[in-house]
Amino acid sequence: MLQLVGFGLSLLTAKAAVVLLGGGALVTLVYFLHFYSLWPFGSDVEPASADQLRHIALLRFDGSNSVERYMNETRSLLRLGYERYLRRGIPFQIRHPVGELGSQVLLPVKYLDEVKKAPTDLFSFEAFSEKSFLLNYSRAPRQTEAAAHVVRVDLNRNLGPLVTDLWNEAARHLNETVGSEYKSVPAYDLVCGFVARVASVALVGAPLCRNPAWQRIVVETTFVAFGAAQAIKDKYTPRWRWLAPWSESIQKDLRRIRRQSIDLLRPLYKERRDAMADRDGFRDPADTFRDVVYWLMKSGQRDRSLYGVTESQLFLSLTAIHTTSGTLNSFVYDWIAHPEYHDDILHEVTETLAKVRANNGEWTLQHVAMMRKLDSFIKESARLNPIGFVSTQRYSLKPYTFKDGFHLPAGTTFMFHSDGAHYDAENYPDPDKFDGYRFLRLRETVDPNRFHYASVSDSSLGFGAGIHACPGRFLSAVVMKFFLVHFMTAYELRYEHGGTERLPNLYNDNTSRPNPTVNLLVRKRQ
């Protein structure tokens, strides 16, 4: 196992490490699954044929049009398509790296409202995910409507009462894992260990969030789910994939993860079940338990068993940990690269911390919202260095004709080019420049309620759109801001190789990730 240096957390197997550092399909898996809720679903609608899509402009690379170029150079092709077609309101298609799935169709933003309002039996993210990641065959954790509701409603409703617990757990984790002398640690290991522990405050609460075995599970689940999908593709042709659920070599790691998770969650489950059954108790369980385990147990989902709760926990871990970690990793690189913002943002943070101390050390969401300059900085970082170039991915289950007459046949994989919108000079003047206060000015001059980090719009598509916009983005934002605030005020962090320049991102298919070869030197502030 590749160990998280100095953090006591086994991150991933050697094979998975190769995937993370040199491959990239894992990033695609996590990115797409992060933003939406999945229901058990299997679509028998076959991908649209080239003949059915012949009315849509086909964009390809000049010269070699190999699969490898679509895995490594897609961003440049998408940028070309945005300028040539999408800016003029014209859809286009490109080859899908997985040939059996047909083409990927990129839609201009003028169709976004119709897509957002369409029922899921017409345009389905669930079917897109199942087709892309073989979820029906891998039997990877799947989410129910109740789990989606828990994140969208219960978690966000309780985020205010949770915010002090998140801050305190962040402080405790860093105090335990960062010493007074500089220590070298891979950048991703640093942020992933932090996110796995602090986000778990909302998932399972303390003390389980501190358990190294639980932290291993929430990190490893993603690699296990990806490994199962890849093993199916390697072992079976599409005709024989129905055998995969009975393959021991494919299912063994998923079974192990489930077994270990059930063992760890069983005491929590029993404690909450007993409290819910004690109608004469002096305390309302809702005041005692503020975590996803409890909210799932009181939800209306049919399977509120220990197994059902465990499945939802594993799925939420899969969608939350690595996307948040990758985004935070990117923020850290941009923070190092732009020291000209440090003093001003630190002043804002210091003022906020003074208000928290005046409130008996209790954080509120209003305190988090006071850090508007920090919020603008991280939104600009996400605009310039996103973890994905497309959003609002769907698979059409039925043919559909848009209001202007454009037709999508059944079996079409389509999406919107968020990266193009983020680099469009009509949306953001001087788009290639890092302007840490770009969104602060927009909030001050255009609309104070828009342009914050977690907001979504036609020009800010990183979190998706409509009812499927990432429901966990508010928790993610708090976790990442607390990491940065702690390091601004109590710790020191710099590149081991020296300098401040950000190293190039690595691209794979429709995704990007911060350079994974970077080591950081970290210590408590002297």
Q: Identity (one letter) of the amino acid at 335?
A: W
Binding residues for heme: 470
Yes or no: say if 320 and 472 are a contact pair by the CB < 8 Å rule: yes
Q: Report the Cα 313 to chain-centroid distance in Å.
A: 15
- 3-state secondary structure (DSSP) of residue 218: helix
Query: In Å, how far are 33, 118, 327, 502 from 382, measured between CA atoms?
Result: 18, 28, 7, 14
d(CA 256, CA 227): 14
d(CA 363, CA 352): 10
| β-strand pairing of 413-416 with 103-107 | parallel
| β-strand pairing of 103-107 with 491-495 | unpaired
Q: Measuring CA to CA, which residue among 353, 387, 386 is closest to residue 370?
A: 353
Yes or no: say if 483 and 192 are a contact pair by the CB < 8 Å rule: no
Torsion angle (degrees, nearest 10) of CA 9, 10, 16, 19: 30
Residues 6+ apart with CB under 8 A from 190: 7, 520, 522
- 3-state secondary structure (DSSP) of residue 519: strand
Name the one residue in this structure whose structure tokens are 């940065």: 484
d(CA 389, CA 188): 21
Strand partners, 9: 4
Q: Identity (one letter) of the amino acid at 210?
A: R
Q: What share of the chain is helix, strand, coil (3-state, %, to 5)?
A: 55, 10, 35
